[in-house]
């Protein structure tokens, strides 16, 4: 398994350093559990429709892994690796972002963070993922559901600008999303 980026110390839970690595198909069962937890948490916090009961679909997760878009934040606790958070990091132009009711900060090359989810084992795992993406790519875009107040807070407290509204093109219902961007100049 190839590690990606730097490590970060984590003294909590007798864990060793946090690190980022690409997901493999062996990670799929655990990743599905994390996504299931995220769906339950969103529903419990007033956002039952963003991912519903089935998103992200297994085929989407498998495609992300096969194309090395899935990055995991992991640590080792008591000799066992734990997945703390996961996200898809998608390079290139996102077709969903071609039309925005508002304006992006720029038209420069960017990466998009999609499908971010935390295992709930440590605090600020999603923020750590975003920080890592910014450090390695500089220009990052993301979007979230209008009812996902937690992710809006994470993005805004991480310095992202609210750029407008976009419409998802890959799902038939509940498709309006708030679009964000941060560019490390």
Asked if residue 103 belongs to a domain, the reply is yes
Asked if residue 3 belongs to a domain, the reply is no
pLDDT in tens, 142-157: 999 999 999 999 999 9
Mean pLDDT of 106-110: 96
Full-model pTM: 0.88
Asked if residue 7 belongs to a domain, the reply is no
CATH number, residue 40: 3.40.630.30
Helices (H) and strands (E) in the chain, counts: 4, 9
Cβ-based neighbour number of residue 68 at 10 Å: 13
Asked if residue 6 belongs to a domain, the reply is no
Asked if residue 164 belongs to a domain, the reply is yes
185 against 53, higher pLDDT: 53
Mean pLDDT of 95-117: 96
Dihedral Cα 89, 95, 99, 100, nearest 10 deg = -10
> Is 100 within 8 Å of 176 (Cβ atoms)?
no
Asked if residue 14 belongs to a domain, the reply is no
Q: How many domains does the chain have?
A: 1
Report, in angstroms and rounded to the nearest whole number, the Rg of the chain calculated over CA atoms. Answer: 16
User: Domain range holding 67?
Assistant: 19-183
Asked if residue 155 belongs to a domain, the reply is yes
* pLDDT of 52 over the 80 cut: yes
* pLDDT of 9 over the 50 cut: no
């Amino acid at each position: 398994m190839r590690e990606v980026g730097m490590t970060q110390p984590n003294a909590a839970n007798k864990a060793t350093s946090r690190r980022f690595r690409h997901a493999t198909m062996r990670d799929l069962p655990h990743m599905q559990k994390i996504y299931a937890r995220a769906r339950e948490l969103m529903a419990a916090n007033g956002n039952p429709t963003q991912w519903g009961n089935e998103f992200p679909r297994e085929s989407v997760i498998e495609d992300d892994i096969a194309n090395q878009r899935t990055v995991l934040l992991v640590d080792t606790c008591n000799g066992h690796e734990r997945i703390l958070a996961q996200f898809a990091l998608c390079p290139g132009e996102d077709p969903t972002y071609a039309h925005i009711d508002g304006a992006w900060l720029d038209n420069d090359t960017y990466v998009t963070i999609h499908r971010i989810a935390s295992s709930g084992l440590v605090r600020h795992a999603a923020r750590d993922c975003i920080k890592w993406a910014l450090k390695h790519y500089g220009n990052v875009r993301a979007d979230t559901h209008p009812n996902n107040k937690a992710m809006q807070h994470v993005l805004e407290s991480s310095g992202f600008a609210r750029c407008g509204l976009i419409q998802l093109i890959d799902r038939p219902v509940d498709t309006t999303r708030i679009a964000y961007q941060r560019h490390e100049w």
